[in-house]
Structure 1
Amino acid sequence: MELDWLLAPPLPESMSRQRVIYHRLRDAILSGQLVSGTRLPASRSLAASLKIARNTVLFAYEQLLAEGCLLADRQGTRVASFPRRGLASPDSPAAPASTLQLSRRAAAALQPEPAREAAVLPFAPGVPDYGAFPFRRWRACLERAWHDAGWRQLGYAAYGGDPVLRAAVAGHLTTVRGFAVDAAQIVITSGTQAALDLCARLLGDHGDIVWAENPGYLAARVAFGLAGLRVHDVPVDAEGLAPDENDWDAHPPRLITITPSHQYPTGRVMSLARRLALIERAQRTGAWIIEDDYDSEFRRAGPAPPALFGLQADAPVVYVGTFSKTLYPGLRLGYLVLPRAVAADFARAAGQATRAGQGVEQRALADFILRGYYTLHLRRMRTRYAARQMALRTALRDAFGPSLELSGGEAGLHLVMWLPNEIHDAEVVRHAAGLGLGVRALGDYTRAPLRCNGLVLGYGNLAEGMIAACVQRLVKAIASSTQAAAER
Structure 2
Amino acid sequence: MPLSLVLSALDDPAVAAAEARQLRLYRLLKAAILDGRLAPGTRLPGTRQLAADQGMARNCVLFAYQLLLAEGFVEADRGGTWVAALPLGTAGGTQYRPAGAHTLSRRAHQLPAIKRSEALLPFAPGAPDLNAFPWATWARLLHQAWAEVTARQLAYAEPGGEPELRRAVAAFLSARRGVACTAEQVFIVAGGQVALDACARLLADSGETVWLENPCYPAARNAMLAAGLAPVAVEVDRDGMAPAPGLWQAAPPRLVYVTPSHQYPLGSVLSLERRLALLAGVEAGGGWLIEDDYDSDFNHAQPGARPLPAIQGLRPEAPVIYVGTFSKLLYPGLRIAYMVVPRWAAAELGEGIRKLYRGGQAVEQRALARLLESGQLTRHLRRMAPVYRERQAVLRAALQAGFGDDCPILGGQAGLHLVLGLPPAVPDTVLAEAALEQGIAPRPLSAYYTGTAPGNGLVLGYGLTEAGHIPALVARLAGVAGKVRKAGGVPS
Indicate yes or no: 2:105 matched with 1:109.
Answer: no
Aligned letter for 1:134?
P
| 1:461 paired residue among 464, 468, 471 | 464
SS at 1:297 equivalent = coil
Indicate yes or no: 2:336 matched with 1:340.
Answer: no
The separation in 1 between residues aligned to 2:412 and 2:380, in whole angstroms, is: 20
Indicate yes or no: 2:308 matched with 1:305.
Answer: yes
Aligned residue runs from structure 1 range 333-482, under 5 A:
333-402=336-405, 404-482=407-485
Aligned to 2:94: 93
The separation in 2 between residues aligned to 1:312 and 1:49, in whole angstroms, is: 74
The separation in 2 between residues aligned to 1:183 and 1:456, in whole angstroms, is: 36
The separation in 1 between residues aligned to 2:69 and 2:371, in whole angstroms, is: 55
User: Structure 1 residues 11, 251: CA separation in 2 closer, same or farther (over 3 Å shift)?
Assistant: same
Displacement of 1:458 in angstroms is 1.0
Q: Which moved more, 1:55-64 or 1:478-487?
A: 55-64
Aligned to 2:14: none
Aligned to 1:62: 66
Aligned residue runs from structure 1 range 212-223, under 5 A:
212-223=212-223
Q: Which moved more, 1:294-303 or 1:473-482?
A: 294-303
Displacement of 1:34 in angstroms is 4.3
User: Structure 1 residues 56, 188: CA separation in 2 closer, same or farther (over 3 Å shift)?
Assistant: closer
Structure index of larger Rg: 1
Aligned to 1:316: 319
Aligned to 1:294: 294
What's the % identity of the aligned pairs?
Answer: 44
Contact 2:185 2:341 in 1 (8 A): yes
Aligned to 1:266: 266
Aligned to 1:226: 226
Aligned to 2:163: 163
The separation in 2 between residues aligned to 1:20 and 1:228, in whole angstroms, is: 45
Contact 1:29 1:79 in 2 (8 A): no
The separation in 2 between residues aligned to 1:470 and 1:80, in whole angstroms, is: 59
Displacement of 1:379 in angstroms is 0.8
User: Structure 1 residues 286, 9: CA separation in 2 closer, same or farther (over 3 Å shift)?
Assistant: closer
The separation in 2 between residues aligned to 1:155 and 1:208, in whole angstroms, is: 36
Displacement of 1:143 in angstroms is 1.2
Contact 2:299 2:414 in 1 (8 A): yes
Contact 1:388 1:464 in 2 (8 A): yes
User: Structure 1 residues 409, 81: CA separation in 2 closer, same or farther (over 3 Å shift)?
Assistant: closer
How many residues end up aligned between the 2 structures? Answer: 474
Q: CA RMSD in A?
A: 3.3
Displacement of 1:251 in angstroms is 2.6
Aligned to 1:133: 133
Indicate yes or no: 2:289 matched with 1:280.
Answer: no
Aligned letter for 1:232?
V
Q: Which moved more, 1:258-267 or 1:446-455?
A: 446-455
Aligned to 1:238: 238
User: Structure 1 residues 454, 49: CA separation in 2 closer, same or farther (over 3 Å shift)?
Assistant: closer
User: Structure 1 residues 85, 167: CA separation in 2 closer, same or farther (over 3 Å shift)?
Assistant: same
The separation in 1 between residues aligned to 2:296 and 2:26, in whole angstroms, is: 61
TM-score, structure 1 length as denominator? 0.87
- Structure 1: unaligned runs, 5 residues or longer: none
SS at 1:393 equivalent = helix
Contact 1:18 1:57 in 2 (8 A): no
Aligned to 1:123: 123
Q: Which moved more, 1:286-295 or 1:247-256?
A: 247-256
The separation in 1 between residues aligned to 2:157 and 2:195, in whole angstroms, is: 16
Q: Which moved more, 1:467-476 or 1:344-353?
A: 344-353
SS at 1:102 equivalent = coil
Displacement of 1:82 in angstroms is 9.0
Displacement of 1:360 in angstroms is 0.3
User: Structure 1 residues 228, 10: CA separation in 2 closer, same or farther (over 3 Å shift)?
Assistant: closer
Aligned to 2:145: 145
The separation in 2 between residues aligned to 1:389 and 1:271, in whole angstroms, is: 23
User: Structure 1 residues 359, 26: CA separation in 2 closer, same or farther (over 3 Å shift)?
Assistant: closer
SS at 1:410 equivalent = coil
User: Structure 1 residues 483, 96: CA separation in 2 closer, same or farther (over 3 Å shift)?
Assistant: farther
Aligned to 1:180: 180
The separation in 1 between residues aligned to 2:426 and 2:115, in whole angstroms, is: 21
The separation in 1 between residues aligned to 2:476 and 2:2, in whole angstroms, is: 59
State the Cα deviation string for residues 161-196 of structure 1 (Å, max 9, x = none). 000000000001111122221100000111211110
State the Cα deviation string for residues 107-164 of structure 1 (Å, max 9, x = none). 211423133xx22121111221111101111111111111122222221111110000
Aligned letter for 1:445?
Y
Aligned letter for 1:12?
S
The separation in 2 between residues aligned to 1:160 and 1:49, in whole angstroms, is: 54
Q: Which moved more, 1:338-347 or 1:5-14?
A: 5-14
Aligned residue runs from structure 1 range 18-57, under 5 A:
34=40
The separation in 2 between residues aligned to 1:150 and 1:419, in whole angstroms, is: 56
